[in-house]
A and B are shown apart, each in its own frame.
Chain A
């Protein structure tokens, strides 16, 4: 029951991010989604009573719930980015698209996998939805920071898939992924900072000069 609620929370937070018009709302959505994910893995760790999963859970909390959102917020404040995300698709249409994507993911998971157990099945469907919604965010939001968040939402989806279907990836891979995320966010954050300084904006749709 609790697990079902948490999964539902993850999906709702993905939708919330699609509906978000402001940067702080987006970052909050991500923080909340990561927190739900943290709770889910905590329950899994508790069920299986495995030290490795506990460590993963701790790192998840540290990286995705605390460090990354804080860092992104700091970058946003530092470059005084205006709150507007630069939506190329308005929230209503975005929402409909996200619902459609989730429905497709639902059909898809239902047809290709026949996994026993309600939890695994819906976890896979939600993870696929989150991945696709993350991609959707990357495409339709113009601010570079939104791209980073879209990427992180995709990663959350993939993490969920790995955790729920196969009981987590190998420990070492999991740790490596966390470091990757941390590094990617830091590097991208610095890039955004530099882009802002160079062009005085972070609108990705205006950065099309470098094509061949």
Chain B
């Protein structure tokens, strides 16, 4: 019997190693963190199960990026999805966890179905699942089939990556998992989809048409903006981070999509630059998103809530966590000298370089991309000002926040480690970029890409230096004497935690400005003793999840309607079931009798 490829083959090229490095860079600190996080949270048996699942989960991710056989890839991919599902529902006593898990597993299986279909189409041409054989076969594939395969791969990997409108599972699954798991899922697991895109679309399928890149760019832009807008209006810390993951995947895909477009335009150097930017943002996002999720976990562990409206003043109770969270926030907002700045800067550079080197409508399109990326960066900064400010500054708004204390060393150390990595990747960007350009080189093999890179890197270094210098100057020149006094309260003398600037209030202007997309609505509830005396007043703001309400719910409704129709033939009576069989036999007898 002939096997359909070598199932044991591993691919040890730069791309695989880069992703393996990223996986380990986040997973190891997260595993260390989990020792402290699970203490007192779970019993001994459950802890053992969670450890085993975690180990298997990380191994399956490693197998996904290491294998050189599409069949093994699919199996590892499915293992990764299933194991992460079990980790998401590890708090299975909460109804929310189970619901989140269900949404996750349904979405991820839709994605896997698309991928399987794509692989099978490719297999039809190659007769083997080996990457090398697939690659050979793809060069002879007719372009229409190539287009279909690409769309299926995009849908499959897009679901895992959380590209809008396939992002629906992220804000459910990531918050419900234990924090070290959401850290790994959000920082690394969704990146395996980017690996899949690079491996299968860039290296095996080959980019067929320029509209592929345009499609990815548009989806990426929508993800960026939708992700950050939802993040802005979110008050649940982990959901906020999950939406921000959607945004950052958008930024990564912006680099990937731009790389596809430039490659087709015949600008290999710019293409390489764009891919470098994407890959660099990938590892950066892994670092700071992993860090932020760990911080969110620490806050949850210390206070028992994830709603930032109930927090506040934590900077005094949890100084290390606060510092780590601040580092993560600065990095994710794209400020120097942290790593997020460098990769976002490079992405912008790539888009502008491309715009300069092309003409016509592409000039405008690429400039619009760059402008929207800049807008995303600004909104991200606003979002994390809110997240940090409301959580850590001012005075505590609840008993839980008042009683919070710093987390143990096993949880602090990973956070500090990742924060240090964020700084290191920012300050040491030139060396990091050199490694990553080798990775990008192995993906698209472009000649002489170094020139543009070093030119744009100089700017990065200068900007970092200026920022660091001004920060240092502020530190040394700040006024030494501080006086403590109450905030001026117009003579009211009763300012308390309840009168603080809240997260909802902070995001209000943005809710109004982007009302066309967020469709906000509010509910008020007054209880009066009399016309003049209101005993209690409740004000709640909601935003409409457009994609859920207008895409998924109608689709789900349709499925259920069809299912109800089908259900009518299922009366639950044995007689009727036997009668079906019987009727079939009789019909067959009559039918056969006619011949």
Contacts and interface: CB of A to CB of B under 8 A. Distances in A.
Interface of A: 88, 101, 104-105, 107-108, 111-112, 132, 135-136, 138-140, 142, 147, 204-205, 207-212
14 contacts: A101-B586, A104-B589, A104-B590, A104-B593, A107-B593, A135-B585, A138-B575, A138-B578, A205-B573, A208-B571, A208-B573, A211-B572, A212-B567, A212-B570
Contacts of A204: 573-575
Given A112-B593, A209-B572, 18 more contacts: A101-B586, A104-B586, A108-B592, A108-B593, A111-B593, A132-B582, A135-B578, A135-B582, A138-B574, A204-B573, A205-B573, A207-B572, A207-B574, A208-B571, A208-B572, A208-B573, A211-B571, A212-B567
Contact of A139 (B571, B579, B589, B590): B579
B455 interface: no
Contacts of B586: 101, 104, 132
Interface string B554-590: 0000000000000100111111001101100110011
A132 B590 CA distance: 13
A114 B592 CA distance: 14
Nearest to A135: B582
Contact of A211 (B570, B582, B585, B592): B570
A107 B231 CA distance: 73
Contacts of B575: 88, 138-140, 142, 204-205
B406 to A, nearest CB: 51
Given A104-B590, A111-B595, A112-B592, A135 B581 contact: yes
A101 B581 CA distance: 15
A204 B578 CA distance: 12
Interface of B: 567, 570-575, 578-579, 581-582, 585-586, 589-590, 592-593, 595
Nearest to B580: A139
Classify the secondary structure of A's interface with B.
helix
Contacts, number: 52
Contacts of B571: 208, 211
B569 to A, nearest CB: 11
A7 B581 CA distance: 26
Contacts of B572: 207-211
Contacts of A112: 592-593
Contacts of B589: 104-105, 108
Nearest to B590: A104
Contacts of B585: 132, 135
Contacts of A207: 572-574
A123 to B, nearest CB: 17
B593 A139 contact: no
B582 A139 contact: yes
Nearest to A131: B585
A135 B581 CA distance: 9
A135 to B, nearest CB: 5
Contacts of B567: 212
A136 B592 contact: no
